[in-house]
Every structure is written in C-alpha cells, then in structure tokens.
Chain A
Amino acid sequence: MMLPKRFRNISLILGTLIVLTIVICAVFAPYLSTHGIEQMDMRNRFSGPTLTHWLGTDNFGRDLWSRLIFGARVSLTIACISVAVSCSIGTAVGLAAGYFGGWTDLILMRITDIFLGFPAIVLALAIVAVLGPGMVNVALAIIVVAWTEYARVVRATTLMLREQNYVQAAKAIGANPARILFKEILPNAMGPIIVLASLGFGTAIISESALSFLGFGLPPPTPTWGWTLSYGTRFMRDEPWLAIVAGASIMVTVLGFNLLGDGLRDALDPRHLSRSAGKKK
C-alpha cells in the first residue's frame, strides 16, 4: 500500500520510525532488557558498550540498556498522561472561547495568558515542591502549563471555522452548540491539535526529565532518564559515558516527536509556511 504523497516527507518518516522504536522498547521492556535494572556487576563498572552490556554500565555495574528502556516507560507514561489531559482541557477551553466569544472568550483567554506568563519549569517545580514527587504530581506540574498552547491554537482555529458555511448551515437547521462544536468544528480542528500533541510529547519528556534531573521527579529506584543523567554528571570528569548516553536517549526521543510533529504539520496543513515553528517552547 502506498502512502498518499503528502505523507511521504522525510521528517514524518524519520519521526515515526524513532517514536515507534522507542515505544516498542518501552512497551516490551521486560522482554527486551538483558539484565535486571538493579542487578549489579561490580567487576564491570563504567564499562563502555560490550556484547553483554550493549550500552555499557553505570557506577554499580548496572546495565544501562535495561535501565534506559525501563526509564522510557516512565517518561512515556508521564508524557501520555500530561498530553491527554492538557490536550483535553486546552481543546475544551479553546472551543468554548472561540465559539461563544464575548465575555466567555475574554475571561478564558485572560486565564490562559496568566498561566502562559509563568516560565513552565519554575511553575512545575513549585507545584512538585508543594505536592511532593510522584507520577501523577509530575504529570500535573506539566499539565498546568501545557494546556495553554492548545487553548490558544484551538481558539484561533475555532474562530476561523465558526464562519464556514457548513457551520452556519448547522446553526440554521437548529443544531445545539454542543452538536456544532463536537460534530462540525472539532473534527475539522483535529489537524492542528494532532500536531500540537505530537510536539507536546517532546516538551513533556523534556520537562519530566528536567524535574528528575533536578531531583524532583520520581524518586529512585525508578530509573528515570533525568535522574540517570543527574548522577552520571557526578562521574563526568572521568567517566562521561553514562551522562552522554542518558542525555542522548532524552534527545533522540524528543527529536523523534518533534520530527513527527513537523512532518504531520507538513502533511496535514499545506499552508503552514512553518510559521508555528516560532511558537514552540
């Protein structure tokens, strides 16, 4: 089966491949891991890549490959939760603001602006500091900032779609607002939402690993990427491998989602002119 031509762009293909590989590694981590994540091999501490330890080992001789693919589970789970929730909240806010206009729009968008006005990581840190670490709290800290982007984009799209003939026609035959919003407007606004969600995965993974890196993510023994990178830095002068591999896995994953997002934008919106590139965090 051949893909339609617009789906055949390099970003989309490369992004899909990277994301698929990482998702498979995370889902099948128990089968793909070669060692237990806590299994120590003190004779092979800080080994580079070998046949037994594909990505080498850490300061306790624990297998990095196994730890990283289990770490991928944490990152992806938190990213999934935060993208799903922030996307739902943001889309609802954006639809309501764009469709109803007037005071609804004014109030909802001012609230969005307020949350957008805090540097994401600072607010996330403050929330984790208050609520304590844990998967849900970390996801919540990411959501508090992330929904704003969806709200703004969905509002803009809704404003445009509201004036379309088919929406006016639905109104004329007496469809109620809920029906118009969910049956007419939402399906046509899915393009930008999907693109944002894909880019949102990248942002969520960077935020989660930043929190873990600073020591406010999931507590050990959970092998989060950020934490692995963080303790890797302690040995960086003599054994930089650990920090390099941990950081590279974060970067490659984020790169995958960003390429996927850019590729989807090219495929779903031919008029994009890469304008939205500047709005990404």
Chain B
Amino acid sequence: MIAYIARRLLLLIPMALGMVVVTFGLLLLIPGDPASVLLGQEASPDAINNLRNTLGLNDPWYIRLGVYFMHLLQGDMGRSIFQNQAVSEIIVGRLGATIELAIVALIFACLIGITLGVIAATRQGSLIDTISMVFAQLGVSMPVYWLGLLLMLLFAVTLGWLPAIGRGTPLLQATAAALTGQPHVLLDSFAHILLPALALAANSAAIISRLVRASMLEVLREDFVRTAYAKGLRRQRVIIRHAFRNALLPVLSVIGLRFGALLGGAVLTETIFAWPGLGQLTITAISQRDLPLIQGIVLTFAIIFALVNLVVDLLYAAVDPRIRLG
C-alpha cells in the first residue's frame, strides 16, 4: 500500500507541472501585446509599460515560465491587476465558500443518486424504475444554471420558503453556534445553501443514479447473491449487506470525478445564487481580464481536483486490493 501511495504521489508531480504550463500558456494565447490588451484601449503608455514590467513581458517566455514556477513554489501566484492584493490571498478568502457548496452538493448527489439507483435496480422494469431513469436523463440534460433559476423561481420567488440569494454564516461556524444554543444560525445557513447545492447536485445525482443502477443490476446477477438467497436470508439483507456494498465500488471512483464537475458547475451556480465563492470570483476576474487572478483560479481548481482524485484513488485502493496489486 505504501508503494502504491508513493507511486501515486510521484505521478502528481508531472501532472502539476503540466497544469502550470497550461495555465502559463494562457498568457501566450493573447493576440498582440498582452499588457495593452489587458488594460484596454484607454490605458496610458506608462500604465502599459508598468504592467509589462510586472508581468515580465520584456523577458523571453521560457524565463517567464521559470520565474512563474519559482514564485508558485513559494506560494506566490502574483498580484491581481485590478484588486490591489495578492492573488493567493484573494483566492484563500473565497475558497471556503466554494468547497462548502461543492461538498454539500456532493452529499446531496450521493444521497439522491444512490437511493434512486438502488430502488430502480431492485425494481427493474417497474414504474419506479422508469420514473427514476427519466429523472436521470433529464438531470443529465438540464443546464445547471437553468435548474438553479427554476428552483429559485419556485421556492424563493413564488412560494417564498427559502432565500433566493446569498450565503448565511459558514456551516462550520454555524454548527458551532448551534452547539452553543443558537440553532437558528445553523437553520439560516441551511436555508441559504439548500437551493444552490440542489441545483449543483442534480447533474451528478443523475449520473450517479444511472451508474448505481447498472452496477447493482450486474451484482444482483452474481453467484454470491444467489447463494445468499439460497441460505434463506431476507431480501432486504441480501440487497443491503451483499449486493449494495459490492455495487458501490465502481461508484466510488466516479465520485472523485464528479467533485471536479461540481467545482466547475459552482462557477454557474454561484453566479445565479450570488454565492460569494471562487466561481463568482472567476466571473469577476474574467470580465476584467485580470490575468494573474484568472491563472491563479484556474490552477487552484486544477490542483484541488487532482488532490481529490488522489484521495479517492487511495481510498479505492484501500477498499479494493486488486487496484494496488494490479
């Protein structure tokens, strides 16, 4: 297992290097002089010259890449062009909200997806199966921003049950507050996160439900399931203890991939629900063409995604010995 972990960690290094190169390459894509393009037409020649110096545009690209990389190693992602602050500080300030949203959405997606998938598989061909799979097909096809708007329209605007936009107290703090006798803070946080997390979760829930269904159907045909029935075990016990636990394995690896999709989806969900996270920051950075900030955000997303996948792979190897030995 230790050898496997070491191998996976080593693989992360070329991966991270490649991601830095791609992120850096964004600057090279700009047609013309990046400094004047980034600052717009009204910028003074002095300002343009300043930016050229800050971005190091007077040096050849390989020196800039080297410098960029050395700075990254020290945790320095450069300074934002429009907000007078270090990129890493701006990102750290926003990261928590996005991770919170993505984790809650992932929990929703797993709960909904696994429940629907198991029910559909155990009642294959029934009405419930058909309805679940229609739901899954719709969930895969529905743009996350449109679903977000529909949920907002129904639950916030028409029914008025939930707040339409914004974030309550961060969930960790809210939980602490609830433990010290202020449960309404936690309730408020839940009310705020419910709609954005549901909108974000739908697509993943649909994909997970299809996968769980397929995986369950496969496992239910296995000999050990028949043996379990033959032993005289109750159906419920066979499904939960024998089939479900085995069917969950392939799903685990997809959950890591879904987390990446959720981070991406957060860009859209956060814009709609005015959720103050990295996604909203992305849009601001992109409308201002604040390149150092854009590069920092892109790289942060990629690194989180890589780390999550690493953790999932390690978990997977811990659960299934065939992976680490194979």
A and B associate in one complex = yes
List which B281-326 residues lie within 8 A (CB) of chain A. Answer: 282-283, 285-287, 289, 291, 294-295, 297-298, 301-302, 305-306, 309
B145 with A213: CB separation less than 8 A: yes
- A255 to B208 CA separation, bound complex (whole angstroms): 17
Q: Does A233 contact B (CB under 8 A)?
A: yes
Q: Does A131 contact B (CB under 8 A)?
A: yes
Q: Mark A4-21, 1 if CB is under 8 A from B, else 0.
A: 000000000000000000
Q: Known: A125-B282, A247-B143, A258-B141. Is A274-B214 also a contact (CB below 8 A)? A: yes
- A244 to B152 CA separation, bound complex (whole angstroms): 12
B15 with A240: CB separation less than 8 A: no
Q: Known: A210-B143, A213-B145. Is A278-B207 also a contact (CB below 8 A)? A: yes
Q: Known: A214-B271, A240-B153. Is A118-B19 also a contact (CB below 8 A)? A: yes
Q: Does A169 contact B (CB under 8 A)?
A: no
Of B150, B218, B254, B285, most A-chain CB atoms within 10 Å? B150
Of B15, B217, B282, most A-chain CB atoms within 10 Å? B282
User: B268: which of A121, A255, A281 is its contact (CB, 8 Å)?
Assistant: A121
Q: Does A250 contact B (CB under 8 A)?
A: yes
- B299 to nearest A CB, angstroms? 9
Q: Does A243 contact B (CB under 8 A)?
A: yes
B157 with A130: CB separation less than 8 A: no
Q: Does A170 contact B (CB under 8 A)?
A: no
List which B223-256 residues lie within 8 A (CB) of chain A. Answer: 250-251, 254
Q: Does A85 contact B (CB under 8 A)?
A: no
Q: Does B4 contact A (CB under 8 A)?
A: no
- A272 to B152 CA separation, bound complex (whole angstroms): 38
A110 with B141: CB separation less than 8 A: no
Q: Does B267 contact A (CB under 8 A)?
A: yes
Which residues of B have CB within 8 Å of A121?
Answer: 264-265, 267-268
- A114 to nearest B CB, angstroms? 4
A244 with B267: CB separation less than 8 A: no
Q: Does B159 contact A (CB under 8 A)?
A: no
Which residues of A have CB within 8 Å of B254?
Answer: 278-279
A209 with B143: CB separation less than 8 A: yes
- A211 to nearest B CB, angstroms? 10
Listed stretches B22-30, B75-83, B177-185; interface member: B22-30
Q: Mark A117-145, 1 if CB is under 8 A from B, else 0.
A: 11111110111111110000000000000
List which B100-157 residues lie within 8 A (CB) of chain A. Answer: 137-138, 140-143, 145-146, 149-150, 152-153, 157
- A272 to nearest B CB, angstroms? 9
Task: Using CB atoms, name the residue of chain B closest to A246.
Answer: B146
- A262 to B210 CA separation, bound complex (whole angstroms): 12
List which A258-281 residues lie within 8 A (CB) of chain B. Answer: 258-259, 262, 273-275, 277-281
Which residues of B have CB within 8 Å of A254?
Answer: 141-143
Task: Using CB atoms, name the residue of chain B closest to A275.
Answer: B214
A126 with B26: CB separation less than 8 A: yes
Q: Does B5 contact A (CB under 8 A)?
A: no
Which residues of B have CB within 8 Å of A43?
Answer: none
Q: Known: A274-B210, A277-B214. Is A119-B264 also a contact (CB below 8 A)? A: yes
A255 with B31: CB separation less than 8 A: no
Which residues of B have CB within 8 Å of A115?
Answer: 22
Q: Does A27 contact B (CB under 8 A)?
A: no
Q: Known: A110-B14, A113-B15, A273-B218. Is A229-B146 also a contact (CB below 8 A)? A: yes
Q: Does A160 contact B (CB under 8 A)?
A: no
Q: Does B263 contact A (CB under 8 A)?
A: yes
A251 with B137: CB separation less than 8 A: no
- A201 to B286 CA separation, bound complex (whole angstroms): 26
A255 with B138: CB separation less than 8 A: yes
Name 12 extra pairs, CB < 8 A, besides A117-B260, A127-B29, A214-B267.
A110-B18, A125-B283, A125-B286, A126-B295, A214-B271, A229-B145, A236-B152, A244-B150, A255-B137, A255-B138, A258-B141, A274-B210
**Residues of B bordering A, CB below 8 Å:** 14-15, 18-19, 22, 26-27, 29-31, 137-138, 140-143, 145-146, 149-150, 152-153, 157, 207-208, 210-211, 213-214, 217-218, 250-251, 254, 257, 260-261, 263-265, 267-268, 271-272, 282-283, 285-287, 289, 291, 294-295, 297-298, 301-302, 305-306, 309
- 7 pairs from A and B in contact (CB 8 Å cutoff): A117-B306, A127-B29, A202-B141, A213-B268, A251-B143, A262-B137, A274-B211
**Residues of A bordering B, CB below 8 Å:** 110-111, 113-115, 117-123, 125-132, 202, 206, 209-210, 213-216, 229, 233, 236-237, 240, 243-244, 247, 250-251, 254-255, 258-259, 262, 273-275, 277-281
